Amino acid sequence: MRHALILAGGSGTRLWPYSTARLPKQLVPLLQGRSLLDVAVERASSCVPADRVWLGAGEQLRAAVSQVPGLRADRLVVEPSARDTLPAVALGCAVIAACDPEAVVAVLTADHLIEPLESFSQTLDAAFALAEQRDDALVTFGVVPDAPATGFGYLELGAPLGAGRVVTRFQEKPTLSRAAEFLAAGPDRYLWNSGMFVWQAQTLLRAVDEFSPHAGLVLRAMGQAYGTPRWEPLSRDAWPTVARLSVDYGVMEPASTSADFTVAALPLAARWLDVGSWPAYGDAVGRDEDGNAVGAAKAVLHASRGNVVASSDPDHLVTLVGCEGLVVVHTPAATLVMPANEAQRVKELHALVAQQHPGLA
């Protein structure tokens, strides 16, 4: 049967001060009172039955994610602590496989906007079909680049395979000149790596066994033990021994050169937006004729262009005069002001805040 596993981990430090350790960006009501996770669960539930939508999250977020509308309490897979995406994905697939040994799982993100839903559903259906047909297939989704982005990984494409293409190589976040070369080569050669996947649960676990044997052993055992008394000692003693690895680095990259697996990419025929920075948030909420994006209940902008304004306080008025290319973010606890072209440095700022004012990070 078809299942969806939404990964709701991640700290979202580039969206500080909205996103904090206690309430990361996927749980913040960024979109007209709704969170990215709310939207992700609704999107997944439109593609697979609601009782087969699973959510993976860290222990520190258990209470918060348990309140997400449409999510069944017994479909929450809680990681003892954050150890990157390979352990998170493999644990989720192991738990699902314990319930349904024939499961085909779509691993989806909780911090992307994907529109229109109908186009996404069609691409997901094609990916499910490919994974169902081939027990060696690890399917990912590629996004057609529209700029020489250095913040995304790239998929290098080879021969056709069903509705997609074989991935011959993963290219990590490139330099600007290399990204420009990838863009010029066109989407028949390079796609952005979306970080979403479809595979048979047993195929993914077999790949983890091959490329990270210790992790495979531990995570299979934890999947079988989830919800039983055997879980506690495994989560306490075995989980910390699993290496911190991303699923791209730990599984997808070695699988792309392995004779035992086939990595395939399907182009995502939909608008895809990674809401991973304040300028991206501005694109998500939409911009006016002056290029301003306003996510605040009360804001007045005069003679200002190309700004992003956000406020989580409905009674607070944010005003700008003669400003261009700024990000201005207000919360009751903190205020951020910066040039939009410095947005990637919020992660550096967040590290300083964590040192000097840890309760506000």
pLDDT in tens, 66-102: 888 888 989 999 999 999 999 999 999 999 999 999 9
Token digits for 23? 């309430």
Fold of 2-274: Spore Coat Polysaccharide Biosynthesis Protein SpsA; Chain A (3.90.550)
Spell out the domain ranges in the chain.
2-274, 278-360
Q: What's the pLDDT band for 296 if we cut at 50, 70, 90?
A: very high
Return the closest-CA partner of residue 68 out of 98, 37, 109, 91: 37
Return the closest-CA partner of residue 52 out of 27, 74, 26: 74
- b/e burial code for range 46-69 (CB count within 10 A of at least 16 → b): ebbeeebbbbbbbeebeebbeebe
Which pLDDT belongs to residue 50?
93
Token digits for 3? 């299942």
Which pLDDT belongs to residue 30?
82
pLDDT in tens, 201-254: 999 999 999 999 999 999 999 999 999 999 999 999 999 999 999 999 999 999
Count Cβ atoms below 10 Å from residue 140 Cβ, excluding itself.
Answer: 27
**pTM of the complete model:** 0.89
Return the closest-CA partner of residue 310 out of 12, 27, 29: 29
Helix (H, G, I), strand (E, B) or coil at 243: coil
Mean pLDDT of 154-164: 92
Mean pLDDT of the chain: 93
Return the closest-CA partner of residue 76 out of 5, 17, 169: 5
**Residue 205 CB partners (closer than 8 Å, separation 6+):** 90, 93, 94, 97, 216, 219, 220
CA distances (Å), origin 251, targets 143, 154, 197, 237, 248: 20, 16, 12, 24, 6
Mean pLDDT of 44-52: 94
Amino acid identity of 45? Answer: S
